[in-house]
Amino acid sequence: MKLNNISIIGLGLIGGSLAKAFRQENKAFKIFAVDNCSEALKLAEADGVIDMGFNECCSEIWNSDIIFICTPIRKTMQFISQLADNVKDDCIITDVASTKHEICNYVDGLKNPPIFIGGHPMAGTEKSGYLNTFSHLFQNAYYVLTPSKTASKAALGTLEALLTGIGAIPIIVSPEKHDIVAGCISHVPHIIASALVTLAKNENDSELIKLLAAGGFRDITRIASSNPTMWENVVLSNSPVIVELLDKFKKIIDETADNISSFNNSEIYNFFDKAKSFRDSFS
């Protein structure tokens, strides 16, 4: 399917970066955006990144060939149901949310489900908002796709080609598997980063802590600076998976604390050594 009009709902870090990437890849696309922040829309129009911005969905959006919903998860589901009732029959709707199971279930449960392909770019930073967007965010980034039953091979191929065009690497994963893996490598790490910052904050020497915090602490806690609304939505959307992972994590911490309090040198060494081997094996 030839794409002429692309709409992006939510012109934050991911939506804005997608718009910039699509614009750079193909100047002929008409790109429309919806955001409640008029400032972001004005900036994107002035940059030539979008053709027109709107504060709410309207005919330009309903008539798009493909729509990317790039909002926090609860809003994503609200937009899906609003779009489902209004878009043209062959419009592809996709999202960029960090969880997939709840959203895909939601779409399957709609009376009139649209052509929906769940999406999750494994890319981003701790920053948010249009001012922090950049066109090469998706270069060499894996981009998970979870096609729903309504998505034909042709629709999937159209989205894959669009994503490949901006340098991303599409990969199809089931929503359930996606949420377990994302829970492990993204959702729980965000919780732990915030927990580490909370631990440091609760100590008496918080000024000295800020002064002395160097490489390691800064690396492991960078993502604690992420958008709280987004992460509140993410962890509640993947609640059972995250609770189970946190239980396993607490067990690892408890065992490590036991080994430290009993001066169990070999177990402490093994803990670090096994983690190092696995981490070193990442490409």
Residue ranges in contact with ligand TYR by CB under 6 A: 98, 120, 122, 124-126, 186, 223
State the minimum distance, in angstroms, from the CB of residue 187 to ligand TYR: 8
84 vs 188, beta carbon nearer ligand TYR: 188
- d(CA 245, CA 239) in angstroms, rounded, equals 10
How many alpha carbons fall within 13 Å on the CB side of residue 35?
A: 26
Exposure b/e, 94-114, CB count within 10 A at least 16 = b: bbbbbbbbbbbebbeebeebb
- d(CA 230, CA 74) in angstroms, rounded, equals 9
State the minimum distance, in angstroms, from the CB of residue 181 to ligand TYR: 11
12 vs 147, beta carbon nearer ligand TYR: 12
Q: Across-strand partners of 118?
A: 146
| Residue closest to ligand TYR (Cβ) | 124
Write out the two tokens for 139: 């270069």
90 vs 219, beta carbon nearer ligand TYR: 219
State the minimum distance, in angstroms, from the CB of residue 38 to ligand TYR: 26
- Residues comprising the chain, all counted: 283
- d(CA 17, CA 128) in angstroms, rounded, equals 11
99 vs 158, beta carbon nearer ligand TYR: 99
State the minimum distance, in angstroms, from the CB of residue 182 to ligand TYR: 7
Q: How many C-beta atoms surround the C-beta of residue 229 within 10 A?
A: 14
7 vs 226, beta carbon nearer ligand TYR: 226
Whose CA is closest to 133, among 116, 145, 121, 144?
A: 121
State the minimum distance, in angstroms, from the CB of residue 186 to ligand TYR: 5
State the minimum distance, in angstroms, from the CB of residue 131 to ligand TYR: 16
Judge contact between 34 and 64, C-beta under 8 A.
Answer: no
126 vs 176, beta carbon nearer ligand TYR: 126
Instruction: Note the Cα 58 to chain centre separation in Å.
Output: 25
